[in-house]
Amino acid sequence: MTLSIETAVQVLLRRRLRLVAVAAAIVRDVDAADDIFQQVVLAALQQHEELRDEEHLLAWAVRVTRHRAVDWARRRQVQTLPSDLLDLLQSTWGDPAGVGISDQVEVLNRCISKLGDPARELLRLKYHEGLAMPELVERLQRSADALYQALSRIHRSLRECIERESQSSAEAAAEFDSTRIGRVGPS
């Protein structure tokens, strides 16, 4: 069974904020993110017969949004998050229940706050200000190799922190659910 055009459009419009947020997280430009969302809707209209159900459509739309956003960023030489962090975030972007994005952003912010001041400053310069490596070398008075190594360590640290935080959140949620289930029953 395939989705009708009407159903595909309704699903995408309900998930518009999520898909625009996915694109905006990558391109850091809300107008461009909205344009990318429109491209994804058009692509879904062209391929709606290949999309089996709403969950498949959402997973497809997140994947297409990510790829189009990365392509847009590359064409404009905008620095994006590393692929491993995008992969980790993508696992929550496709969450059909609609939860996860704000939780994941909260986890990422907590993990960033655990970094030392120099690491946070390097991230700010690299991703918020969008400085290229030569500009970072000049601004921070460190070699490119040292900065690449520092960024690699920071990314690894953030990935590990996010995985730990996500695991402990999942365990806490499971524990909460199991205690709640134990209380449910006839009165």
Question: Which domains does the chain possess?
Answer: 1-79 (no CATH), 100-187 (1.10.10.10)
* pLDDT at 96 > cutoff 60: no
Nearest to 28 by CA among 67, 72, 63: 72
Lowest average pLDDT, out of 109-113, 136-140, 160-164, 175-179, goes to 175-179
Nearest to 57 by CA among 23, 13, 92: 13
How high is the pLDDT of residue 37? 94
CA dist., res. 43 & res. 37, Å (int): 10
Nearest to 16 by CA among 45, 63, 58, 50: 58
Give 6-13's long-range contacts (Cβ < 8 A, gap of 24+): 7/54, 8/44, 8/45, 8/48, 8/51, 8/57, 9/41, 9/44, 9/45, 11/54, 11/57, 11/58, 12/40, 12/41, 12/44, 12/57, 12/61
pTM above 0.85, yes or no: no
Ramachandran class of 80: left when φ > 0, alpha when ψ lies in -120 to 50, beta otherwise: beta
Q: Which residues have C-beta within 8 Å of that of residue 181, sequence separation ≥ 6?
A: none
Whole-number percent of the chain with pLDDT over 70: 75
Question: 148 vs 86, which has greater pLDDT?
Answer: 148
Question: 123 vs 183, which has greater pLDDT?
Answer: 123
* pLDDT at 56 > cutoff 80: yes
